[in-house]
Structure 1
C-alpha cells in the first residue's frame, strides 16, 4: 500500500498584510515536514475563487490539512510560526478526521484532484 499523501493549504488574500508576511512562515514550516507525498498550496481566495467554491473564508490565515480520504484540520490560525508548526505536527501524527462542513470537504477534494 503506498504511503498516504498529505495536503496542506493556506487560504489567504493578496490584500491581507498578515498573509503577506505569513507566507514565508508557512513555506518554511511546510519545508520541515516529510516531503514524500506532501502537497503544499498557497491559495489566494480571490484569484482562485473557482477553486474555493462556496467556502466562506472570513479570517486569515486559514489552514486546511487533508489526507487521501478526509480533512484532518480546517480553520483559522494565529499567524505565529510555532502555532503553525504545532498544528502541522499534531495533524501529521494523528490521522483522525476533523468535523468540517461540506464546503471544506469539497475544497479538499478539488485540491486532491489537482495533485
Structure 2
C-alpha cells in the first residue's frame, strides 16, 4: 500500500475479486481515475486475498466501493461498473467542505451504520 493512499484526505477503495470478470474489466478505468485525481488515495482490495480488510463488509456485488474522508465513510456499496459514475461521486465529495462531509456521513441511519463496519482506512496496512 502506498504512503499516498494512507495519508490522502480522501480514500476510494474498490472491493473486488480476481476471479470476477467485471472487476478485471473495471480495473483499468479505476487506475485511470487514480491518475485523474492524484490528491485522492486509491486502493484495490481483493476480498479473498485481503480478507482481513473487507471481512466486516458483506460484499455481495462487484465492484463495491468505499469512499472516506479521513475516518468518515461517505459512501459504501456496489456501483455500476461505469467509471463516469465514480468520477462524478469523487468530484461531488471533493467539492464538499469538511463540515458538510461530517454532516453527510451521519445524515441517515444507513450512513451512520457504515462508520464502523466500512472503515477500510483503519484496516489498511500502514
Alignment match, 2:76: 74
Task: Provide TM-score, normalisation by structure 2.
Answer: 0.76
- Which stretches of structure 1, 4 residues or longer, exceed 3 Å deviation after superposition? none
Task: Provide TM-score, normalisation by structure 1.
Answer: 0.82
Deviation at 1:4, TM superposition (A): 6.6
Alignment match, 1:26: 30
Structure 1 runs not aligned, ≥5 long = none
Report the RMSD for the aligned CA atoms in angstroms.
1.9
Structure 2 runs not aligned, ≥5 long = 1-6
Structure (1/2) with the larger helix percentage: 2
- The one-character-per-residue Cα deviations of 1:55-109 (angstroms, maximum 9, x if unpaired) are 110010011111113011111110112112111111222223261433113x332
Alignment match, 2:88: 86
Deviation at 1:26, TM superposition (A): 0.7
Alignment match, 1:12: 16
Any conservation in 2 of the 1:73–1:91 contact (CA below 8 Å)? Answer: no
Deviation at 1:53, TM superposition (A): 2.4
